Structure 1
C-alpha cells in the first residue's frame, strides 16, 4: 500500500468538488481500517492539511515555480501540494523522502517528463524552508488570506463585521486542532461515568470536562469515533457544544412535544428526546431518505423510543402540526462558515452566488415552520455560520414579521463569556472567541 499515492488520489477526487472531505476521508479510513494507526493518521493529516492550507501552499509553490499552480496538470498540482505540506508542516518526515517519493509517483503516473520539474520545485522549497507571504501592512487582506488559507472575500466580510483583531483570532482558531466533543447521556450515574472514563484511559484517550456544560467533554488521542469505548453502547453522542446549547436554550421539559425540522444527523433531536423524557416526544424530519437514515442510526444506537422520524421538506407546510409543538428546532441549511475548522472544503466550494441565495431560503423555512409552535411555545432558529445576513438579520426580520418575541436566554448561558446579546434572545458564538464552533442561536417565544 502506497500511502502517498492513496492521498494523491483522494486530493484529485476532492478537487472535483463532488464529495465532502470528511465523508471521503471517513470512507477511505474505514476501507483500510486494517492499516496501522500511524498510517491512518498520516493519510488523514496530509489530506486534511492540504485542504486546510491550500491557499498558502499554492502561494509558496508559485514563488518557486515558473508555471502557475492553476495551469499545472491536476495530478502534478496535487502531488506538489501534498509534498509541500509535508515539507513545511511535518517535521518528522525527512525532506529527502518527500522529494524522492514525489518524483517516483510522477513517473509511476505517466509523467516521466515532469520528474525534473517536480524535483526542482520541491528541492528549492526544502532548501529555503521559508514561507513567503504578502506584506501585512501594505496588503492586509492578502496577507491574512495567504497566512490562514482563507479566500479573500470571506475575510473582507468578516473584517467589516468583526474588525481586524477579532477576524485574525477567528482565522487562527480555524487552523487549530479540533478535539472530538461528546455529550454524555445525562442519565448516566457518577459510577457509570467513572467506569467509562476509566475504559477510555486504558485506550489512551484523554477526557477533559468542557467549561460550558456539565455533560460535555473534549476527547484527545481518538483513533476513530466508533472505536471510543461507550460509543456502540449509546452512552454518548458526538456533538459540538454549540449544538448542545441550542437545546439547552430551548427549555425542553418532561412531556414536551418537539419538532426538529432539519434534524440530520440527529444530535439535537436525541438531546431533546432525553430532556422530554418518557412522556414527551420528538418528531425528527429531514429532506431525504439518506439524511433520515443517519438520524435513525443514531436513535437505534442510543436506544430512544420517544423519537419519530420522517422524510419531509421543511419548506412544505404540514397542517397536521398547526400549533401543536411546545418547541420547534429550526437548524436550517446555511453557509457553514462557522465549522470551517472541521469541514475544510466549504471555503473553496461556497460561491458568492450561493451565499446570496441562502438568507431567502432560510426565511422561507421560518415562514413555514413558525405555525407549528403553539401559543406560548418556543422556536429556536440556529445556523453553523458567522454571517450576519443569515443570523442577526434573519432574526430581526422574523421578529418584525411574525407573532413572536425574543426570549431572554442569559440565565442559560451564564458560563459563556462575551454573551451580552443573550438578554436580547440570541447568541453568536465565534471560533477563537468562544470554546465552540461558530454558531448562531436565536430563541423566540410565540405570543399568547
Structure 2
C-alpha cells in the first residue's frame, strides 16, 4: 500500500467513524455501505479500513481512557472531528503496526489540517506522540476500561456470572473468528463447496459439530464469490444454525418463524422440512423483501414470506404449526463482535422494554403451536432477564408447555453468545 493510498484509506476510515461514533449510524450497516462504495480498492486497503473502523468502535471506552491519561482536554470535551482523530490515532498506536508510530502521528496531523483544524494540529501531534512514547506504561484499572465495556453491563454480568466468568465472556468478544456459513445441502455437499472455494484461494474449515456449517477466511467480498451468488451457501452463525436442529424439525413439519428476517433460520428449516412447509414472518415490508430476496437466491420452494406484527394474534394460525421458531428482538449483547457499537447503544431502560416485548410475543405466538408441537425460543444475547428468567416466567404462566432443553452459549472463537430454549406443548 503506497503512502498516498494510506492517507486516503485513513480519511475514508475517519469519515466512516465520524458517522458511526458522532452521528449514530449503525457500524455493521454503514461500514458495509462504505466498503461497497470503495469495492475497487485493493483487498489489503479494504481490510485496513475495516480493522481501523471496527477496532476504534470496539475499543472506544478504552481509547478515551488512554486519551484522557495524556490530554488536559478530556475526550468528551473535544470537538467531534478531533475526538475521532484522537481515537483513531490511539487505536493505531496501541493495536496496529503497519507503519511506525511517528508516521501514524503525522498522518493524523494531516487529517486535522485537511478538516480545517490547523490550529489544533499541534495539540493532536503532542498528545499522540506522548501516547506513543508512554504506551507501555498505560494500565487498565478495571474490566470496563480493559475490555471497553460500559460499566452497567459489566456490573450486570458480574452479578449474573461472577467476575471470573464475566472476564472470560469479555475476552471472548476479542477472539478472532472466521466467518461461519451454512452450506445449502440441497444444492451441494460441504466437501464439494470446500473444493470450489479453495480453488479461489478461500480457506475453508468444515465444522465437526453441525452438519451444515463451515468456516471461511481469506475472501475479499461476498459479492465477488460466485458460489454465494448461486445460493450454494448462506451467511449464518454457528449458534443460529443450531436452532432448527435443537427444535427437532422433521421432514414433513409445518413450521412458522415469527421474526424471521433476514431468513437464515427459516431457510434452514425449509431445507430440513423438505416435504413440509415454512412461513417466514417479519414486521416491515423491507424485512419481508430481504427474506424474499434470500429465498430467491437459494431457490427454496417450500417457504413463503409474510408481513405480520408478531405481537398481533393471528387467529388463522392458532394450533396450526408443528414448530414455532421465536428468535425474538433482543439486546444483541451476544454478538458484540459483529456489531461493536451495540454495547454503547443499549441502556438498562431499553433492556427492560425488550424483556416486556419478548414476553408479549411469546404469549401471542405460543398459541400457534399444535398439541404435541414445539416452541423454540432463542436470542443472540447472554442476559439472564432475556433468557433463563424469561423462560421461567413464561412456563410459570403457561402450564401447557414443558421445557425440553435449554442452553446458553458464551462467545468464543467458534461462535457468538446465543441462547436457545425448546419447549413442548402438552
| TM-score bracket, shorter-length normalisation | over 0.9
Deviation at 1:134, TM superposition (A): 4.0
Determine if contact 2:270/2:277 at 8 Å carries over to the other structure: yes
Q: Distance in 1 between matches of 2:399 and 2:416?
A: 30
Tell me, yes or no, if structure 1 residue 431 matches structure 2 residue 419. no
Question: For each residue in 1:43-83, what CA deviation from the matched residue of structure 2 results, as whole angstroms up to 9, or x when unmatched?
Answer: 11100000111111111111111100000000000011111
Q: Secondary structure at the match of 2:208?
A: coil
Q: Distance in 2 between matches of 1:437 and 1:224?
A: 21
Q: Paired residue for 1:418?
A: none
Deviation at 1:404, TM superposition (A): 3.5
Q: Distance in 2 between matches of 1:287 and 1:72?
A: 40
Q: Paired residue for 1:417?
A: none
Tell me, yes or no, if structure 1 residue 344 matches structure 2 residue 340. yes
Deviation at 1:246, TM superposition (A): 0.9
Q: Paired residue for 2:262?
A: 265
Q: Distance in 2 between matches of 1:331 and 1:16?
A: 31
Q: Paired residue for 1:42?
A: 48
Q: Paired residue for 1:289?
A: 285
Alignment of 1:15-414 (within 5 A): 15-16=21-22, 18-130=24-136, 132-135=138-141, 143-188=142-187, 190=189, 193-277=190-274, 279-408=275-404
**Are the structure 2 counterparts of residues 313 and 38 from structure 1 closer, same or farther at C-alpha, using a change threshold of 3 Å?**
same
Deviation at 1:323, TM superposition (A): 0.5
Determine if contact 2:188/2:232 at 8 Å carries over to the other structure: no
Deviation at 1:211, TM superposition (A): 3.2
Deviation at 1:17, TM superposition (A): 5.2
Which 5+ residue runs of structure 1 have no aligned equivalent? 136-142, 409-424
Q: Number of residues paired by the alignment?
A: 420
**Are the structure 2 counterparts of residues 256 and 17 from structure 1 closer, same or farther at C-alpha, using a change threshold of 3 Å?**
farther
**Are the structure 2 counterparts of residues 102 and 189 from structure 1 closer, same or farther at C-alpha, using a change threshold of 3 Å?**
closer
Question: For each residue in 1:273-316, what CA deviation from the matched residue of structure 2 results, as whole angstroms up to 9, or x when unmatched?
Answer: 00111x31111010111111111111111001111111111011
Determine if contact 2:177/2:414 at 8 Å carries over to the other structure: no
Which 5+ residue runs of structure 2 have no aligned equivalent? none
Q: What RMSD in Å do the two structures reach over aligned CA positions?
A: 1.5
Question: For each residue in 1:216-258, what CA deviation from the matched residue of structure 2 results, as whole angstroms up to 9, or x when unmatched?
Answer: 1111222222233511111111101111111101111122111
Determine if contact 1:292/1:311 at 8 Å carries over to the other structure: yes
1:443 to 407, 422, 425: 422
Q: Secondary structure at the match of 2:229?
A: coil
Question: For each residue in 1:167-209, what CA deviation from the matched residue of structure 2 results, as whole angstroms up to 9, or x when unmatched?
Answer: 111111101222100111233555xx43422232232211112
Determine if contact 2:334/2:411 at 8 Å carries over to the other structure: yes
Q: Distance in 2 between matches of 1:10 and 1:95?
A: 22
Determine if contact 1:150/1:347 at 8 Å carries over to the other structure: yes
After the TM superposition, which parts of structure 1 deviate over 4 Å for at least 4 consecutive aligned residues? none
Task: Give TM-score, length-normalised by structure 2.
Answer: 0.95
Q: Distance in 2 between matches of 1:177 and 1:223?
A: 17
Task: Give TM-score, length-normalised by structure 1.
Answer: 0.91
Q: Distance in 2 between matches of 1:435 and 1:47?
A: 23
Q: Distance in 1 between matches of 2:272 and 2:119?
A: 64
Q: Distance in 1 between matches of 2:327 and 2:400?
A: 18
